[in-house]
Amino acid sequence: MSKVSSGNLVVHPLPYVLPASQWFERIRHLALPVMLTSGNPDHPSSRYEILAADPLFVLKTHGVHTSVTDTRSGQTRSSTDNPFDVLATYCPVSRQNIAEGHELPFNGGAIGYFGYDLLNPGKPKKQPEINLPDMLVGIYDWAVIVDHDTKQTNVVFRNCEDSRQLEILATLQNNTSKKFPAFMLNSPFISNVSKEQYLEKFNRIIDYIHEGDCYQVNLAQCFSAKCEGDGLDAFLRLQKIADAPFAAYLENDDQSVLCFSPERFLQVKAREVTTQPIKGTRPRSADPATDAANQHDLETSQKDRAENLMIVDLLRNDLGRICETGSVKVDRLFEVQSFTNVHHLVSTISGRLESPDNVFDLMAACFPGGSITGTPKIRAMEIINELETTQRSVYCGSIAYIDHNGNMDSNIAIRTLVRDGNSIHCWGGGGIVADSKGNEEFQETLDKISILLNNL
C-alpha cells in the first residue's frame, strides 16, 4: 500500500513485523522515545501499539512550574498555570485532519506521563527522593501505529515537511540499532516499611474510617534496589511475562518508566468517555481448581464489591463534572478480568463530552484516579500524604496519549517501575475499607508486584 495524504496528515505504510519493539529500538536514540504497548491478545484493549520519539515540544513540570522547550530552537518558556492548561495550549484540538480510510487511535499530539502529585505540588519531598518530573510530555508530529487486528503498521506524519518525513523513514529503515548491556540488579529490593510499620499505618486508616474521615484509603509501600544496564531490556523481559494491556516504556536520559498496568484510566473516542476502575484482587494459581476457587471468591466477595462500588460512585461524580448532563452511566459492574498473576474486579463507567477540547478538563477533573486514592478523594489523599514515607512519583499517576482530534487513552500507572540513574523503585498498594484485615492487605500488596520483583 502506498502512502495516503489527507489534509496535513500523511500515512505511510511500514512492514508489519513482530515484536513491534523492533521499531522502537530503531528510534530510541532520538529524544524522549516512548512506546505504548499491550500484551494479552484476548484483552479487548490490545489492538494497537504506538511508538514515537523526537517531539517538537517537551513539557516538564516540577512543583508549580511547567517548562516548555521548543526542541528545534532550544528556547524554553516557564509557566505556573495548571499543567493541563499548558498542555492544551501546545496540543490544540481540531475536528479536522482525520485520515480517511485509516482507523488511527493517534494522529499526532501529546504522549507522556502525569505523576501522582502533579496537582498536589505542596506535598513535601520524602525519602528516597526520586528526581523525575511531576509531568513529562512530548508533543509529537509523527508516530508509528501498529494495528494487530488488521496486521498493518503505518507511520503517521502531521504537518511534517517532506524532508523530515524522509529523515524519519530513513531512521525507521535503518536496522543497526545500538546494543546495550543487559539489565541487572546490584542489590535486592528493600521495602521502605516493615510489615509491622505497614500494619501500624493500616490501623491508623481503620481509625480514620471509624472516625468518619473516609470510607476507603489506598495505602502503598515502595521497594527500591540498585541496578545497572538497559532499562528496555528489563521492560521487554517483564512484559513477556506480565502481558499487560496498558503497558508503556518511556526514557529520558538516565531516567525511565517501565509500566505494566492492567487498568485503564480514561479513554475518549469521538467524545465518548470510558473509565474502568479496578478494585478487588485475588492471586492466580497454577492449580486449576485453586485458581477457579480464587476467582469465585472474588466474584462473590461482598467486601470487594462494596469497595469497587465506592470507586464507581466517585468516578461517576468526577465524570459528571465535565460530561454532558445525563450522559454518565454504569455499563458493567463487578466484571472479573484475569491477568498473568492476579484476578481483578473491574467496572466500566461511560459518558459523553460536549466538545472534543473538553478532554483536558476531563483529565484534570478526574486526576489522580479514584481507584488509587480512596473516598472521599481529597481526604484520602491527605491521609496518604500523612502515612506514606516515599513519594509516589509516576506510580498511581497516568501514562497517556491525547491527539489533535481530542481522542485519548490513558492508564493508571500501577505495576510500575521508575528508574532514576542507578536506582529503581516499585510500589505495591491496595484499598483499605472498614472490614479489611491487615495481614491480608499486606499480602495483597506483595501479590500484585511479585511478578515484577521476582523476575528481575
Reported in sequence order, the residue ranges of 244-341 that DSSP labels E, i.e. its strands, are 246-252, 255-261, 264-269, 272-275, 278-283, 329-338
- What's the residue count for the chain? 456
Which sequence positions are flagged as catalytic? 263, 279
Write b or e for each residue in 408-420: b if 16 or more Cβ atoms lie within 10 A of its Cβ, otherwise e: bbbbbbbbbbbbb
Amino acid at 58: V
252 bridge partner residues: 255
Pull the grid cell for residue 255.
Answer: 531516567
Q: How far is it, in rounded angstroms, from Cα 88 to Cα 323?
A: 18
CA angle in degrees (0–180, nearest 5) for 113-174-97: 50
CA distance 136 to 115: 8
The answer to whether residues 108 and 404 touch, using CB atoms and an 8 Å cutoff, is yes
Task: Output the CA angle 126-430-261, nearest 5 degrees.
Answer: 90
Task: Please give the C-alpha separations between residue 331 and each of 274, 314, 328, 347, in angstroms, as whole numbers.
Answer: 9, 15, 9, 8
Burial class (CB in 10 A: 0-12, 13-18, 19+), 15: exposed
Q: Which three cell numbers stand for residue 320?
A: 459528571
Q: Which amino acid is at 50?
A: I
Give the separation between CA 250 and CA 418, rounded to whole angstroms: 10
Q: What are phi and psi of 287, to 5 degrees?
A: -85, 120
Dihedral over Cα of 357, 359, 362, 363: its sign: negative
- Provide the residue type at 165 as one letter: Q
Strand partners, 256: 251, 419
